[in-house]
Amino acid sequence: MSILPFTRPTLGDEEQQAVNEVLASGWLTTGPKVDTLEQALADYIGGGVSVRLLNSATSALEAALMASNVGPGDEVILPAMSFTATANVVLRVGAMPIFVDVDALSRNLAVQQVEAAMTPRTRAVMPVHFAGLPVEMGPLYDLAERNRLIVIEDAAQAIGSQVDGRMIGAAGNPVCFSFHPNKNMTTIEGGAIASSDRQLLRRIERMRFHGIERDAQGNMDVPQWGGKMNLADVNAAIGLVQLSRLDAFNRRRRELAQLYIKLLPQHAALLMPRDQAGHSWHMLCVCIDFDALGVSRTGFQQRLQKLGVGTGVHYPAMHLFSLYRSYGYGPGDFPEAERIGEQTLTLPLFPGMQDADVEKVCTAVSQLLRGEDAP
Ligand SMILES: Cc1ncc(COP(=O)(O)O)c(C=O)c1O
């Protein structure tokens, strides 16, 4: 039996041809395709922002923190439930991640809990648009402005997500995107930062390539530290094709998510994720009270696998990882993040799926919720 994976990138002849053209051009690493994709992304996002491409969202977040001079002695507030990169980058620049709990339904940072987590050392807040559902940014930006905090949005999962018809990333603050293969559009590996702060982007531009700056005659200087975080033209060429297909991908994601919402049963042990206009449905993560069903999550996943359905877990609560426990965090600190970490299950969702695939998943999940075992 073929297994439906929880995600699969949609890549075709056009992407293949775009790669071949770059290979034939003789210019393989950062070059004209990167420039073109940066401009195309800036046009797509709107709001007059500029975009710089990097080799991952992790690099983009790290560079955004460094270029904002966040470092040793500073604290950065972020949700306790996200991919671990969100917290790791804070440690990487020498600052301290300060977790706050997430909301049970949106799974995003509980904005009303941010103030209580603030100290005189707080320099920045890093909200995450989990699974493509936009964070309620109004109250967060108000709070940040009142307390002179930097806001760096982790929009790794939210390319194409919108609030009131405006793209995430269009507001001007640094916003970082990922183009890893399981994201809504891919450059294979890759990331981007959108911002309207020209000076910040200039620092990031140098930082992504050894700190190098060249004058009009081509003479080289290194005015600041830099690493190796640039994106290659081969990747950007794939990204240009993917960006042209992104709205269609996201429309299909939305249709599939709505079919799930219609077909999954009402069940006391099943909590559906929140929907709202502008959600780009990067993932469909339900919560299941496995204890109430008397089955472990792994057992449930194995049974779904037998029925041809692949699943994922996004994500365990970060503060319970041994690295973050070593900074004093522990069980009970963030109850919603911990509950989600134990109960979350990612069901298949990608634009190449048929309606019949959703029906198959919903039938399988319903069967297991009723306690009927897989064959
Ligand atoms: C919320 C979040 N932040 C950051 C990242 C890191 O992205 P990348 O793999 O492009 O470094 C991811 C990747 O899954 C993510 O989901």
Average pLDDT over residues 251-257: 98
Average pLDDT, the chain: 97
| Active-site residue, selected from the candidate residues 183, 262, 306, 360 | 183
Residue 25 alpha carbon to ligand 1 centre in Å: 31
Tell me: the pLDDT tens digits for 209-224? 999 999 999 999 999 9
Q: Reduced to 3 states, what is the DSSP secondary structure of residue 322?
A: helix
Q: Which atom of ligand 1 is nearest to the CA of 89?
A: 4
Average pLDDT over residues 236-244: 98
Average pLDDT over residues 160-164: 96
Query: Which of 78, 108, 175, 178 is the best mutation target for the ligand 1 pocket, counting ligand atoms within 8 Å of the beta carbon and taking the most?
Result: 178
Q: Which atom of ligand 1 is nearest to the CA of 86?
A: 3
Residue 92 alpha carbon to ligand 1 centre in Å: 15
Average pLDDT over residues 240-265: 98
* Strand partners of residue 96: 75
pLDDT-derived band at 375 (thresholds 50, 70, 90) equals low
Could you give the count of Cα atoms lying within 13 Å of 300 in the half-sphere of its Cβ? Answer: 31
In single-letter form, the type of residue at position 239 comes to G
Q: Which atom of ligand 1 is nearest to the CA of 59?
A: 11
Hey, what are 111's tokens? 């904005």
Nearest CA to ligand 1 atom 12: 156
Amino acid 373: pLDDT: 72
Nearest CA to ligand 1 atom 7: 57
Pocket of ligand 1 (CB under 6 A): 56-58, 82-83, 85-86, 128, 154, 156-157, 178, 180, 191
Average pLDDT over residues 6-16: 98
Residue 327 alpha carbon to ligand 1 centre in Å: 22
Exposed e or buried b per residue across 205-221, where buried means at least 16 C-beta atoms within 10 angstroms of its C-beta = bbbbbbeebeeeeeeee
Tell me: the pLDDT tens digits for 137-150? 999 999 999 999 99
Hey, what are 297's tokens? 């999550």
Of 77, 65, 193, 192, nearest to 140 by C-alpha is 77
Query: How big is the chain by its Cα radius of gyration, in Å?
Result: 21
pTM: 0.98
pLDDT-derived band at 357 (thresholds 50, 70, 90) equals very high
Q: Which atom of ligand 1 is nearest to the CA of 182?
A: 14
Tell me: the pLDDT tens digits for 23-61? 999 999 999 999 999 999 999 999 999 999 999 999 999
Residue 26 alpha carbon to ligand 1 centre in Å: 31
Residue indicated by tokens 């990487």: 92
127 contacts 109 by C-beta, under 8 angstroms: yes
Q: Which atom of ligand 1 is nearest to the CA of 56?
A: 10
Amino acid 374: pLDDT: 58
DSSP-derived letter for residue 326 is T
Tell me: the pLDDT tens digits for 267-321? 999 999 999 999 999 999 999 999 999 999 999 999 999 999 999 999 999 999 9
Could you give the count of Cα atoms lying within 13 Å of 246 in the half-sphere of its Cβ? Answer: 24
Q: Measured between alpha carbons, how far apart are the two ends of the chain, in Å? A: 13
Tell me: the pLDDT tens digits for 88-108? 999 999 999 999 999 999 999
CATH class of domain segment(s) 13-241? alpha beta
Of 289, 288, 259, nearest to 356 by C-alpha is 259
247-369 homologous superfamily: Aspartate Aminotransferase, domain 1 (3.90.1150.10)
SS3 content of the chain, % helix, strand, coil (to 5): 40, 15, 45
Query: Which of 54, 107, 157, 346 is the best mutation target for the ligand 1 pocket, counting ligand atoms within 8 Å of the beta carbon and taking the most?
Result: 157
Average pLDDT over residues 248-260: 98
Residue 11 alpha carbon to ligand 1 centre in Å: 20
DSSP-derived letter for residue 171 is T
Domain extent listing, the chain: 13-241, 247-369
Catalytic (active site) residue 183: yes
CA pair distance 153, 126, nearest whole angstrom: 5
Of 71, 79, 68, 131, nearest to 284 by C-alpha is 131
Number of H helices, E strands in the chain: 13, 15
Distances (CA, A) of 302 to 57, 196, 287, 368: 31, 47, 17, 11
Residue 188 alpha carbon to ligand 1 centre in Å: 13
Nearest CA to ligand 1 atom 14: 83
The pair phi, psi for residue 208, each rounded to 5°, is: -75, -10
364 contacts 301 by C-beta, under 8 angstroms: no
